[in-house]
Structure 1
Amino acid sequence: MIDALTTASPPLAPDALPNARIGAKRRWHLVLNARSGASADGALTASDLVTRLRAAGLDADTGDDPEATLAQKVEAAIESGAEVIVAAGGDGTITAVASALVGTDRTLALLPLGTANLLARDLGVPLDLDAAIAALATMAPKRIDVGEVNGTVFLHKIVLGFVPGLAAARERLRGRGFWASFAFLRHFVRRVRRTRRISAHLTTGDGRRRVVRAAAIAVSNNAYDEGVGRFFCRSRLDGGSLGLYVLRRPGLFTMVKLAAGMLVGRWRRSEELWVGAAKSVVLRSRRRRLMLMIDGEVSGFSTPLKVRIRPQALSVLAPAAGPDASG
């Protein structure tokens, strides 16, 4: 009744770029999402960023058309022939650019402009824009894993259940000031209280099966760390495994208890949370379509959901002394 993914993509050949500082001799192409965080008010433009990249000694350019969609900007970046593609934006922007680079010898560079900036944090990329630009020429390329759900790439995690609705509400209220924050808090409380559990069948690539009733199910690209104050952090991005997380029951008390556990570094011990790992997993549901939050963006996906890890499929720049830097 349940299909299983029994194979994962084999590791790709080593990156064509050497495992050393990338330097300024490469060609760099900038992709800016003008709707992301620091650039949403129009104060930060692609030409501004290119000027700053060049001032840092990088051979940077952009074919950025202010009227172009993000997909069109990514396509132009690929066609430019540049060895390094700089993604300036939030997690969703970075994932969109990375998706086009997976399995190639191009390297992704990050200028984090979003709210969470999860991949940048895990890689140790400076979150301050000026510091991030200054650090680019000294960074080293490394290969990291990516996740894939029904053919769509993700870099951090996918989540189903009550979370996608919260993410959609947050996006609708973005940029509306204090009252928007208050409205989101009300929406959060109401949605958590009214959450109904979903039933799902999980089958991992090695044939293990589990039937769950859950408020939320998350699959991460490599496992989350457990440590004091480490919220959704990963010290390993090339471990070749998915992290599986099932939140059994909804409710405000459950959420507060889980958050407290994460704060003190003991969240894996929660009675309401099941934690597992796999190289691939198939999720079946009676519902023909499920809403997913995928790296902060909400989309609908047809079931079954087939999720796998793609080991070392992406080349990305990271500080040589970062938390996950290769030696």
Structure 2
Amino acid sequence: MADPSYYVILNANAGTASATGVTAEVVAALFEANGLRAVVDARSDRALVDRIADAMASPAPMVVAAGGDGTITALAEALVGKDKSLAILPLGTVNALAKDLNVPLDMASAVATLATGEVHRIDVGEVNGRMFLHKVVIGMIPGVAAGREYIRGRQDTSAKIGFLRYLFRRLARSKRIAVVIEPRSGQRRIERVQALAVSSNAYDEGLGQFFSRQNLDRGTLTLYVLRHFGVRDFLRLTTEMLLGRWRNDEALTVESVKAVTINTRKDLIKVMFDGEVETMRTPLVFTIRPKALSVIVPASTATPAEAA
């Protein structure tokens, strides 16, 4: 029997997977229906790091992250600089990278596009030696993201109303923090901010666009500094994003950098790392690795990265 072309790591606990009942059998049937040879790893009792190691040891040239942004980031970190490519079956709640790469959010369509997919290379951000695909955020935003976990997987109105109440309380009570910002090519400065984000490449402006990127291969980081973020700021920025003109907001500054170091008075701080809240040690040293990750994108759409 010929070696498989795809090694699928399925996170059955991801948002869409758990809600729609996606199983290894369902995924395997979709690959078979499209004439694609695949091994599907749905071993939820095994640590993700061990499952990724098995994927890397397999002969399959393409490794598929069937899960949310956390699964995708963990797998991408292992694939950076390797001769295997990352493919995505978006099963998470946000699916940020899948949207940026124009991957269909419907499982059947996403598998079908793999049959004609193309290999492209995208940039990868790095902070303190760890890879990220979207952004790293400090300040009040990680606290808001932590509150989101209470309603993950819940669709009832009471949960959504409860989260909005939590959000507005956080906005009303949030305090600014002092951060030291030191770009590699720029002047060291101290600012008081309510939130600060560093993203791989830049988020686009456009009607109705929320944190989407068309270009993932420009070889730059983008620094977003939010000096104040109360309820009025939240409502104003949300409206500006809907209208596609948020970059010039009075509370926000945007700066393109190749590398930047962020420091605070605390040795350990909460960050939102590609959508997941965790603790990291300061200073945070950010760099960009241009076109370090090989990804599979649909052939029928304009892609955000140049061909390999």
Provide TM-score, normalisation by structure 2.
0.94
**Does 2:6 align with 1:28?**
yes
1:250-261 equivalent positions in 2, closer than 5 A: 250-261=229-240
Q: 2:259 aligns with which of 268, 271, 280?
A: 280
**Which stretch of structure 1 is more off in the superposition, 194-203 or 25-34?**
25-34
Q: Deviations over 1:232-251 (max 9, x none)?
A: 11111000000110110120
Pairwise CA RMSD? 1.7
Please tell me the residue identity of whatever aligns with 2:35. G
Stretches (4+) displaced over 6 A:
none
State how many pairs are aligned. 304
Please tell me the residue identity of whatever aligns with 2:242. L
Q: 1:38 aligns with which of 16, 40, 51?
A: 16
What corresponds to 1:314 in structure 2? 293
* d(CA) in 2 for partners of 1:215, 1:223: 20
What corresponds to 1:18 in structure 2? none
Please tell me the residue identity of whatever aligns with 1:216. A
Q: Displacement of 1:325 after TM fit?
A: 5.0
Q: 1:262 aligns with which of 228, 235, 241?
A: 241
Contact 2:61 2:84 in 1 (8 A): yes
**Which stretch of structure 1 is more off in the superposition, 206-215 or 270-279?**
206-215
Please tell me the residue identity of whatever aligns with 1:322. A
Please tell me the residue identity of whatever aligns with 1:286. R
Q: Displacement of 1:194 after TM fit?
A: 0.6
3-state DSSP class of the match of 1:57?
coil
Please tell me the residue identity of whatever aligns with 2:40. T
3-state DSSP class of the match of 2:147?
helix
* d(CA) in 1 for partners of 2:11, 2:42: 10
Q: Displacement of 1:42 after TM fit?
A: 7.6
Please tell me the residue identity of whatever aligns with 2:47. T
Please tell me the residue identity of whatever aligns with 2:136. I
* d(CA) in 1 for partners of 2:77, 2:229: 33
What corresponds to 2:219 in structure 1? 240
Please tell me the residue identity of whatever aligns with 1:211. I
Please tell me the residue identity of whatever aligns with 2:201. N
**Does 2:34 align with 1:56?**
yes
**Which stretch of structure 1 is more off in the superposition, 164-173 or 95-104?**
164-173
What corresponds to 1:326 in structure 2? 306
* d(CA) in 1 for partners of 2:16, 2:41: 20
**Does 2:198 align with 1:229?**
no
Contact 2:12 2:42 in 1 (8 A): no
1:53-132 equivalent positions in 2, closer than 5 A: 53-132=31-110
Mind listing any 5+ residue stretches in structure 1 that lack a counterpart? 1-23
* d(CA) in 1 for partners of 2:20, 2:48: 16
Q: Displacement of 1:323 after TM fit?
A: 3.8
3-state DSSP class of the match of 2:75?
helix
Q: 1:184 aligns with which of 148, 152, 163?
A: 163
3-state DSSP class of the match of 1:116?
coil
Q: Displacement of 1:314 after TM fit?
A: 0.2
Q: 2:179 aligns with which of 200, 203, 212?
A: 200
Please tell me the residue identity of whatever aligns with 1:230. Q
What corresponds to 1:143 in structure 2? 121
**Which stretch of structure 1 is more off in the superposition, 66-75 or 267-276?**
66-75
Contact 2:7 2:60 in 1 (8 A): yes
Q: Displacement of 1:133 after TM fit?
A: 0.8
Q: Deviations over 1:69-123 (max 9, x none)?
A: 2222222211223110000111111111111101111100000111211111111
Q: 2:152 aligns with which of 174, 198, 202?
A: 174
Q: Deviations over 1:274-298 (max 9, x none)?
A: 1101011000111111111111111
**What percent identity do the matched residue pairs reach?**
48
Closer, same or farther in 2 for the Cα pair 1:63/1:114, shift >3 Å?
Answer: closer
**Which stretch of structure 1 is more off in the superposition, 297-306 or 59-68?**
59-68
Provide TM-score, normalisation by structure 1.
0.89
Please tell me the residue identity of whatever aligns with 2:195. A
* d(CA) in 1 for partners of 2:224, 2:305: 26
3-state DSSP class of the match of 2:55?
helix
Mind listing any 5+ residue stretches in structure 2 that lack a counterpart? none
Q: 1:290 aligns with which of 269, 281, 284?
A: 269
* d(CA) in 2 for partners of 1:259, 1:42: 30
Q: 2:193 aligns with which of 195, 214, 220?
A: 214
